[in-house]
Amino acid sequence: MIKFFRRIRQKLLTENKFSKYLIYAIGEIILVVIGILIAIQLNDFNGDRKEREKELSFLQKLKDDINLDIQNLILRDSILAVYQSNQEKGWKLFLEAKSVNDILTVDSLIQFRWRSFTVSRKTYDEMINTSGIYIITNKNLLNELSDHYDLIEVYQQNFREINEDSRHYYKASNLDSFDFLKRHYRDPSSDITRIDTAWISNHNSPSYLSLARFYSHVIDAVNGVQRNYITEIIANSKKMVAEIEQELRKNNIQN
């Protein structure tokens, strides 16, 4: 093709047809410019296509992450529901406690988890760290994703503070007798006559009141508030999945 155009130029020059040569040269320049523009458009098209493919890949992985979060949070909530059922029995027994066995039974019923609930931020953090966040075309969805993970972070921080309060209550000096009782009462090598148990039947004693405050905090905050957080996160997560699925359907992606 290049040789063909070169022969035409040479022929026009040898025949002294300068005006025709000039028109031809201009036409050749126009053809070159058109070719460059087409190449640029094709390159832009391919770039846009790759960005859309990457966007849809991010959305699919986000959906998978959040669905897994929902499953894990539902499981955790079901465990906490069992804890709360046992705590109701434990708290009733605690209010009537008279013996060491009563207190030890109560302690076995007041179950809780200090470990904070977790969610997967793998895909979302990858989007932030690789600037992939900027290729999400639905900015409303992007803002809602940001709000979703921000809310979870707030709840996780709140729960960490609740746990710190719990540890503070548990470490109260008035609970030394209770802690010693738990560790040594069923130990055959321990002299149980040295263990203070008088506070158990004295519901106005500092030890009993400190234990009541600890158990109350565990029931209402460590488990109760945690369940409220989890319920709200699950509801919001399901909403996010629905919106991501809608975005994928707009691009004819099967879910």
Is residue 255 pLDDT above 50, yes or no? no
In which band, very low, low, confident or very high, does the pLDDT at 103 lie, cut at 50, 70 and 90? Answer: very high
Contacts of 113 (CB under 8 A, 6+ apart): 79, 80, 83, 222, 223, 226
In which band, very low, low, confident or very high, does the pLDDT at 7 lie, cut at 50, 70 and 90? Answer: low
In which band, very low, low, confident or very high, does the pLDDT at 207 lie, cut at 50, 70 and 90? Answer: very high
Domain ranges of the chain: 52-250
Residue whose tokens read 């234990």: 211
Residue-level pLDDT at 48: 59
Report how far apart, in Å, the C-alpha atoms of 84 and of each of 19, 37, 50, 216 are: 95, 69, 50, 12
Task: Give, as one character, the DSSP assignment of residue 223.
Answer: I
Residue-level pLDDT at 193: 75
Kindly state the percentage of the chain with pLDDT values over 70: 79
Choice between 23 and 204, residue whose per-residue pLDDT is larger: 204
Residue 124: φ, ψ to 5°: -60, -45
Contacts of 245 (CB under 8 A, 6+ apart): 63, 255
What span, in angstroms and rounded, lies between the C-alpha atoms of 204 and 238? 47
CA nearest neighbour of 94 among 224, 221, 184, 199: 199
Residue-level pLDDT at 133: 85
In which band, very low, low, confident or very high, does the pLDDT at 63 lie, cut at 50, 70 and 90? Answer: very high
Choose the weakest-confidence range: 72-81, 142-151, 167-176, 187-196: 187-196
- Mean predicted confidence (pLDDT) in 158-180: 90
Residue-level pLDDT at 21: 46
Residue-level pLDDT at 204: 94
Choice between 35 and 74, residue whose per-residue pLDDT is larger: 74
Is residue 228 pLDDT above 90, yes or no? yes
Residue-level pLDDT at 12: 47
- With vertex at residue 170, the alpha carbon angle to CA 91 and CA 208, rounded to the nearest 5 degrees, is 50
Is residue 106 pLDDT above 60, yes or no? yes
For residue 199, how far is the Cα from the chain centroid? Answer: 44
Residue 156: φ, ψ to 5°: -65, -40
- Alpha helices, H only, the chain: 2-14, 18-95, 100-109, 122-129, 139-170, 176-184, 198-201, 206-217, 226-250
Kindly state the percentage of the chain with pLDDT values over 90: 57
Residue-level pLDDT at 66: 97
- Alpha helices, H only, 96-138: 100-109, 122-129
Question: Model pTM?
Answer: 0.77
Choose the weakest-confidence range: 13-17, 32-36, 184-188, 208-212: 13-17
Contact 223, 80 (CB under 8 A): yes
Q: What is the pLDDT of residues 113-151, one digit of tens each?
A: 778 888 999 999 999 998 778 888 899 999 999 999 999
